[in-house]
A and B are shown apart, each in its own frame.
Chain A
Amino acid sequence: MESNLAGAAVESPGPVNPNQPSPSAARVLRKRSARPRLGDPLFKGATGLFAVMIAGLAAFIMVSMAIGSRLAFEKFGLSFLLKSIWDPVKGEFGALPFIYGTVASSLLALLIAVPLSLGVAIFLVEKAPRKLSEPILFVVQLLAAIPSVVYGLWGVFVLAPLLRESVYPKLQAILGFTPLFSGHQNGLGLLSAGLILSIMVLPIITAVTTDVLRAVPNTQREASLALGATKWEATVIVLQNAKSGISGAIILGLGRAIGETMAVTMIIGNRPQISASLFDPSYTIASSIANEFTEATSEIHLQSLVALGLILFIVTFIINMLARLLVWGVTRGEGRGAHV
């Protein structure tokens, strides 16, 4: 009997036959090679099935929308994307003002919400003590639970008057010389829609970013500080580590903003037009579909609405791709996620 380092008695292995593994080794090899052969491909297949299911759904919706809007594209052709008219009675439809309203309101929302969300997330993860950050995170997540119709009502009865009486006049006083802030304002319009959307996407971006930042290991922070970075520089390094996750959070927020109907339609003024001033009423694709779909009776009207929906898909697609390219461009060379 031999004894191992710990002093316990063990059997000596005996002569090694290269053509036949020892009994114990064989047992282990059999077990190890049997399990992964079934488990791993099965695992990959099963999870892959679900991923394909969701993606397939998106593709299915896009294809059915393409089929359901054939008439509109046949009748109007490419001018559907360039015309600025929406007349259900006469059967004339053009998508341009809706595309503008959708893109403008979503970008406005992100412009306001992303810095705000990042600020909140950094505060919660890096600066605030746990006792304070938990309740604040809770409160922020509660914002996500408020139904969109309530946001809309709050927007009409609280936000719009507030903006009309207090905020917009000051804005116009300072920036009224630019075309962006010119013209008559009444609390509704593109800017107000962007504001309310920013409140609605804030919880999503904040919650995901907070989790992402929390997941960055402390070693990153400690290493930077050890190398002489200031607290702020260390925070920047943490942010860079989390870039992929943050971009995912932004895309989720963007998705919410682009597809939001109830709250937007109550505050945006619902006028299909493209105008320079952010105070003017506007119209988004999602709002117009929600407003008119149930009541649309003529085939061309219905198909034009479906065509709008298809365009929305494509717009989302394009913006997502741009966002991903941006992130890829900035993080090229750095690893995704944490490397420790």
Chain B
Amino acid sequence: MTVLTAACAAVAVLSLFLILGYILAGGLRSLSFGFLIHDPKPVDEPGGGIANGIVGSLIMIALGSMFGLPIGILAGVFLSEFGSNKFGQVLRFLIDTLTGTPSIVIGVVVWTVMVHPMGYFSALAGGVALGIMMMPIVARTTEEMIRLVPHSLREAGLALGAPRWRVTLGVVLRTAASGVATGAMLAIARIAGETAPLLFTALSLNYLSTNLLQPMASLTFQIYYYAGSPYEVWHDMAWAATLVLVAMILGLNIIVKILTRNRHQQG
């Protein structure tokens, strides 16, 4: 049995190395410091980079998290604490359905309610679209993780006279913190790799900008565009950009893990 499960782990790790290896092979060629700090150039000029995409992705991921994380976590708290009745079931169903929505649909929805009335594409709209994608994932993982906290902890807190909300936030959520963080990181990783919702909301921009009320570049859009172009040099840049994106998520992952290190080991 140990062998079987170890084999599963080996398969998972192997797939990652196969994919990462492929990305590395294509990407290391173009990766350079200049690549990271320059904006894109026309294809016949050397020295183009993805600085605008790096900054744009970071800004929009941050925006998306600002919308998606608080709403998702608190919604998950509601579902686990007060959601065992019919009302909670209905909410849960609807939220589950949202996780299966193709990202392009969310992009079109945000286009209809934000971009079209505003009259222009914007990074803000992009952040909103990404946030909407995050919410159901964060909500459901938060709910599951909170539900796993033993009742004894809850009861102990209540017995000490603390009100329910204090117990939930201060004791239960704190205990489930690393699990909630896993959900958050999964959601962030998911939106970090999305192109379709940005297509209709943030569009893209060929130069670096931090203006939230105009189009903004993103790594995924550039990867998508360069990979679909006819030029070998742009293909290499697409791989290099992918490496940067994966490294970025790795970095965020590490930061979050450090911040939510669970001192109350259960394992």
Contact = CB atoms under 8 A, between A and B. Distances in A.
Q: Do A and B touch each other in the complex, judged by CB within 8 A?
A: yes
Interface size class on chain B is 35 or more
A139 interface: yes
A51 B164 contact: no
B82 A47 contact: yes
Contacts of B9: 119-120, 123-124, 128, 136
Interface string B122-139: 000000000010011101
Contacts of A262: 195-196, 224
Given A136-B9, A245-B148, A255-B96, A153 B227 contact: yes
Given A51-B139, A58-B95, A59-B94, A64 B163 contact: no
A216 B164 contact: no
Chain A binding surface SS class? helix
Interface stretch (A3-11, A183-191, A204-212): A204-212
A56 B91 CA distance: 8
Given A211-B182, A321-B93, A36 B82 contact: no
A136 B13 contact: yes
A143 to B, nearest CB: 5
Given A57-B98, A61-B109, A147 B182 contact: no
A44 interface: yes
A2 to B, nearest CB: 24
Contacts of A140: 12-13, 16
A115 B77 CA distance: 29
Given A147-B194, A338-B148, A53 B75 contact: yes
A217 B150 contact: yes
A293 B148 contact: no
B8 A119 contact: yes
Given A48-B82, A50-B74, A244-B147, A39 B163 contact: yes
B1 interface: yes
B220 interface: yes
A146 B24 CA distance: 13
B75 A50 contact: yes
Interface stretch (A17-25, A174-182, A310-318): A310-318
B10 to A, nearest CB: 9
Interface stretch (B35-43, B209-217, B244-252): B244-252
A254 interface: yes
A148 interface: yes
Contact of A154 (B19, B149, B183): B19
Nearest to B98: A58
Interface of B: 1-2, 4-9, 11-13, 15-16, 18-20, 22-23, 70-72, 74-75, 77-79, 81-83, 90-91, 93-106, 108-109, 112, 132, 135-137, 139-141, 143-145, 147-152, 161, 163-166, 168-169, 176, 178-179, 182-183, 185-186, 189-190, 192-196, 199, 219-220, 223-224, 227, 242, 245-246, 249-250, 253, 266-267
Across chains A and B, which 3 residue pairs bring their CB atoms closest together, nearest first? A119-B8, A255-B99, A43-B165
Interface of A: 32, 35-36, 39-40, 42-44, 46-48, 50-62, 64-65, 115-120, 122-128, 130, 136, 138-151, 153-154, 157-158, 199, 202-204, 206-208, 211-212, 214-218, 231-232, 235, 242, 244-245, 248-249, 251-252, 254-256, 258-262, 285-286, 289-290, 293-294, 309, 312-313, 316-317, 320-321, 336-340
Given A203-B189, A215-B145, 19 more contacts: A47-B74, A50-B74, A52-B91, A54-B135, A60-B109, A128-B9, A136-B9, A143-B16, A146-B19, A150-B23, A151-B19, A218-B267, A242-B148, A248-B140, A252-B140, A286-B104, A313-B100, A320-B93, A338-B151
10 contacts: A40-B164, A119-B5, A130-B267, A146-B19, A149-B227, A203-B186, A212-B145, A215-B266, A259-B103, A293-B108
